[in-house]
Structure 1
Amino acid sequence: MKARIEDEKVLLGSEGYALYEQSGFGRPQKDGLKLSPVEALYLVYRGRIEIPGLDFDSLLVRFSQDAHMIRSFLVYRDIRERGYVVQTGPHDFRVFRRGEKPGKGESQYMVRVLSERDLIDFAVVQSEVKTTLNMRKQHVLAVVDDEFEITYYEVKIQKLPGLEESPEPLPASGILSSISAIIYAGVDLGYDQAFYGKRFDDSRIVLATVEAAYLMKQGLVTIEQDGNLLTPDVYCALIGENDPELEKKNTVYSHLRSLNYIPKTGYKFGHHFRVYSGRKIHSEMLVQAIGQGETLPMNSISRSVRMAHSVKKKMLFAGIHDEGIVFIEFARIKL
């Protein structure tokens, strides 16, 4: 079957309709079938169409003004050869359920193609995932690494449900040792039961900086330094000199506590928080706070997802936006 290129569009005559009807290739036109560049590349690669004067290699070079093309082709080929019908758009690809095709079924996945070095803008991801959800599809990232291996990730917006309220601890006072807040709190004050801090001895608890800042803002803890009581703002300014991520961590910590989750440091897992749902023995989520406008390279997200998977936890990125905090989950999947 012979095709032609006009204005960088690959066109087939009316005989091309069969490719659409049988396998969902292209978009029907009045006088034939229009193929996207990646569809044309695949059909030439498989020997199903010919373009006079162009073989696969020369066609790939011709379309390579799009630096994304080789990755797009590899992902398209991989999905096609897994038995799916694929069409371009509205992100990069729309993938139909196995055995279904345009006009005779529904698409299941919306796929965005990325490289391992692409920067992930969480505001953009959030917007694309919302669009996908509104279409009742699953949002998938197809990430092509530098050796051209493909990894698929499903991306979801997680709405954390509020948990049953637990009793608040009673007010306590304390002192500052460098930037470490130590409060005088016996077991009867309820800090152990609410999972705040690390017990130093029977009468003292050492608080993490985010815990101390939160409890001070709640009016539950007062901290004295040099005979004066510290305000929460002064305390945060003091510890913020050694922790440039403090503000976003405080924001996410406060939000999780407001929903009655128990966030503790996620240092051992390489993240801001490990998070418990109530009084469970093991944490269920790893959470990384993401400030407004912050981006992360995809290879960093990949490390996070692999770590969370290895310890059987969900990996959530808590994006801070004007409208509040949005939790985005990344998880590896097999198509």
Structure 2
Amino acid sequence: MKARRDGTTVVLGKDGHALYDQSGYGRKTEGGLTLSPEEALYLVLKKKITVIDETFESLITEFSSRSGFMRRFLVYRDMRERGYVILPGPQDFRVFRRGERPGTGRTNYLIRVLSERDLITFRDLSDEVASAVHMRKQFVLAAVDDEGELTYYDVKADVLKESGAAPDIPPVTAIRAGNSVITQDVAAFPDPLWFGTKLDKTRLMLSPMETLYLLERGLLTIDGDANGAAIREDIPKEDAEWKEKYQVYAYLRNLGHVPRTAYKFGHHFRVYSGEKKHSELLAHAIPADASMPMSVISRSVRLSHSVRKKMLFACAEQNGIEFIEFARIKL
């Protein structure tokens, strides 16, 4: 089929309607079929159409002057090669279920295309995920590295369920040890609660997050700092992320989960549910308006998968916590 370029689109005559009817290419008009740059270039590459006075090389030179075009084209080509019908969408693309096309099925995925260096702004991402959920679609990030390799991530808002009642702990006393405290009321913390680090059979060291949590609940008295004013003032001096970390820590504890440090995994918390022996989640606390390079998220997801845990970024808002889960998927 012969086509002509019209600015950033390619137009076929009415014979192009067959491409739409059979394979879901383009957008039908009364005069023919209008193709997006990605669709047109792919069809030229596959030798299904020719464009008057143009070659594959001239088209890719022209189209790639548009920001992000090559990344979008690589994702478009990959989806088509996998047997999906893919069309321009409210993000970058909408993808039909395999074997379905316009008129005979519905879209299943909404895909946003990013480079390995693009910043993810979590508040914007949250809005896109919510929009996809409203439309009953699965939101997917397609990350394209500098060598054109593609990685797909399923992104969703994760709602954590209660994992039992919040811990019932009697009041305890402690002495201060830096920004931690040491208590001899070991019996107040039975093993299932997983509080603190034992120094010996009679002494338990509580971390800064555990200390703040017990102070906020009125369950801890520190010798020489009964209301905890001094340690509350000092903890932020050593930990610039303390506010978001504490908000997430308290939220998890109040749901009955057990958050412990995940420093060895490069994140804030590993999270246990109930009395399970192994943590199921990694949670990283961030302000809701935070931005993070896609490369950092990629490393986090790969590590979490290697240790068989979910990777959650916990966005701390004034009115609560929103958990955004990233998981690598094969489409």
TM-score, normalized by length of structure 1?
0.95
Q: Which structure 1 residue ranges, 5 or more long, are not aligned?
A: none
Residue in 1 aligned with 2:204?
205
Q: Does 1:196 align with 2:192?
A: no
Counterpart position of 1:169: 169
Q: Structure 2 matches for 1:1-335, cutoff 5 A? A: 1-165=1-165, 167-187=167-187, 189-190=188-189, 192-224=191-223, 227-231=224-228, 234-335=230-331
- Identity among equivalent pairs (%): 50
Distance in 1 (CA, whole Å) between partners of 2:81 and 2:52 is: 26
Give how far 1:203 is off.
2.4
> Could you tell me how far apart the structure 1 residues matched to 2:234 and 2:318 are?
26
Q: Do 2:158 and 2:323's aligned partners in 1 also have CA atoms closer than 8 Å?
A: yes
What whole-Å deviation, never above 9, does each CA across 1:123-170 have from its counterpart, x for those lacking one?
111111111111111111111111110011111111111122155111
Give the Cα–Cα distance (whole angstroms) in 2 for the partners of residues 62 and 253 of structure 1.
51
Distance 2:29 2:48 in 1: 19
Equivalent residue letter for 2:250: S
Q: Tell me how far apart the structure 2 counterparts of residues 313 and 28 of structure 1 sit (CA, whole Å).
A: 46
CA apart distance, 1:180: 2.1
- Amino acid in the other structure paired with 1:201: D
The answer as to whether partners of 1:168 and 1:190 remain within 8 angstroms in 2 is no
Moved over 6 A (4+): none
Residue correspondences, number? 331
- Kindly state the Cα deviation for residue 333 of structure 1 after the two structures are TM-superposed: 0.7
CA distance in 2, matches of 1:218, 1:236: 14
TM-aligned CA deviation for residue 230 of structure 1: 4.5
SS class of match (1:241): helix
2:5–2:52 contact (8 Å) kept in structure 1: no
- Match of 2:103, SS? coil
What is the distance in 2 between the residues matched to 1:6 and 1:105?
A: 30
TM-score (normalised: structure 2): 0.96
